[in-house]
A and B are shown apart, each in its own frame.
Chain A
Amino acid sequence: MFAAACLGILVVMALALVRASLPGNVYDRILAINMFGTKTVLFIAAYGFLTERPDFLDIALTYALINFIGIIAVLKLVERVAGTASPETDE
């Protein structure tokens, strides 16, 4: 059952990655990457149960925090770069 959950989360992660690699504006991509990151946290947690190694939860916990800080950092960078230039238009 955990295998099914892991597989399902992997599918969601793959969809998010496809969305992020499609042409589009930069905010859509950050959104998809953010989703990929939070699903990674869930995946690590579920995988820890699948392999019966609850230590994985510590990694998931750390990853949840790192993901948040990473997204905010990327946003700051994009905000600064886009401060002068106009953004790519949607589609």
Chain B
Amino acid sequence: MSLVLDLVSWTMLLGGVFLGVSGAVGLFRFPDFYTRLHAAGVTDTLCAALILGGLMVQAGWSLVSIKLAFILLFLWYTSPTASHALAKAALRAGLGPRLAEKENPPSKS
């Protein structure tokens, strides 16, 4: 049984790390600020959930798990606020997004 739990938590941890790396790669690969925002969103949502979830499986039913759940709750409550504030500030400052209608720029690589 504990082997199954270990397997589950390792898969979740590895999946979380993979999503984190994907988001970081997206940060380099996407053409403009607004699209990079979406790449960062991946690391803020499912990546955090998988890593904290994997740790929760290891901790079992305990206060440690409750704390991990609170960390996830805070991250999920604050990250959309931060993203929204960032996007709004950028748009207000006149940073125009590149949109698909005009052109479809290839990624920078």
Contact = CB atoms under 8 A, between A and B. Distances in A.
Interface of A: 1-2, 4-5, 8-9, 11-12, 15-16, 19, 25, 27-28, 30-32, 34-35, 38-39, 41-42, 45-46, 49, 54, 57-58, 60-61, 64-65, 67-68, 71-72, 75, 78-79, 82-83, 86-87, 90
B77 to A, nearest CB: 9
Contacts of A39: 20, 43
Given A27-B93, A42-B16, A78-B89, 4 more contacts: A4-B17, A9-B17, A31-B40, A64-B75
Interface in B1-42: 6, 10, 13-14, 16-18, 20-21, 23-25, 27-28, 32-33, 36-37, 40
B75 A38 contact: yes
A57 B13 CA distance: 17
A75 B82 CA distance: 9
Contact of B37 (A12, A31, A41, A72): A31
Nearest to A30: B86
21 contacts: A4-B13, A5-B13, A8-B21, A12-B21, A19-B27, A27-B93, A28-B36, A31-B36, A41-B71, A42-B52, A49-B58, A49-B59, A58-B67, A64-B78, A68-B81, A71-B82, A71-B85, A78-B93, A79-B92, A86-B93, A87-B94
B30 to A, nearest CB: 10
A28 B33 CA distance: 6
Contacts of A65: 74, 78
Please indicate which of the listed interface residues A32, A61, A64, A78 has the most CB atoms of chain B within 10 Å of its own CB.
Answer: A64
Interface of B: 6, 10, 13-14, 16-18, 20-21, 23-25, 27-28, 32-33, 36-37, 40, 43-44, 47-48, 51-52, 54-55, 58-59, 64, 67-68, 70-71, 74-75, 78-79, 81-82, 85-86, 89-90, 92-95, 98
